[in-house]
Structure 1
Amino acid sequence: MTTGLTVTINGQPEPLDECGWLQRRPCGCIVSAVIAVVECADDSGWVLATADQAHRHLNPTKRDRDKAAKAGLTTELITMRHYRDHIGAKWECEQHPRPAV
């Protein structure tokens, strides 16, 4: 599914199809992520074009949304290129580094 939708991230136009949403704690740790545009053969895919749509997708019930609000979670749009180049498996913030193995 190509939506043809364009978003602006850091002053640059980006195709929504190449973006995703992160949900972060106030410290910066990532708690969840979702690709903005997903196509499925059975039409169960989605297009998450706004922070509110992503927030509701990641927190489907009112109870979940209230819990996220109480925790101070924020929803952030990023390019998948940024995710691959700068985040990958590093979901923890500098305050909460993953222990060395």
Structure 2
Amino acid sequence: MTILYADVEGQQEPLDECAWIERRPCGCIVSAVVAVVEDNWTLATPEQAAEHWHRTKRERDQAARAGLTAELITMRHYRKNIGAKWECEQHTKTGYVLDTPENR
């Protein structure tokens, strides 16, 4: 099995430990996809990720006009820094606490 590597923030990382995230110009994450699934499905370039998210040229052109960009990150970075926080600071919603017996 061949292991592909990618340059992520100046470090060589195994591509199968990476994911692509799509961001709006404000920084919000719109979508995410792992870079490698099994051995037969690989998204190695931003263009391949864009083709995965936006199947037609028309959709890709619309995404480009909207300023959407693809960024390769490690899954380690995703778990440590992003997780469920897909909104930028401008669009972050305040959380709420459910009224449950444990919270009383």
Instruction: State if a TM-score over 0.5 links the two structures.
Output: yes
Alignment CA distance shift 1:99-1:63 (3 Å): farther
- The CA deviation string for residues 37-83 of structure 1, in whole angstroms up to 9 with x for no partner, is 0128xxxx520011111111111112211210111000000000000
SS of corresponding position for 1:100: coil
* C-alpha deviation, 1:3, in angstroms: 4.3
Alignment CA distance shift 1:4-1:69 (3 Å): same
Percent identity over paired residues: 66
1: distance between equivalents of 2:33 and 2:68? 15
How large is the RMSD of aligned CA atoms in angstroms?
1.4
Task: State the TM-score, normalizing by the size of structure 1.
Answer: 0.88
| Residues 1:74 and 2:75 are matched in the alignment | no
Larger radius of gyration: 2
Alignment equivalent of 2:44, drawn from 39, 42, 49: 49
In the alignment, structure 2 segments of 5+ residues that lack a partner are 97-104
1:85 match: 80
| Residues 1:6 and 2:5 are matched in the alignment | yes
In the alignment, structure 1 segments of 5+ residues that lack a partner are none
SS of corresponding position for 2:76: helix
Contact 1:3 1:17 (C-alpha < 8 Å) held by counterparts: no
Q: Which amino acid in structure 2 is aligned with residue 15 of structure 1?
A: P
Aligned length: 96
Where does 1:29-40 land on structure 2 (aligned, <5 Å)? 29-39=28-38
- Post-superposition, which runs of at least 4 consecutive aligned residues in structure 1 deviate over 6 A? none
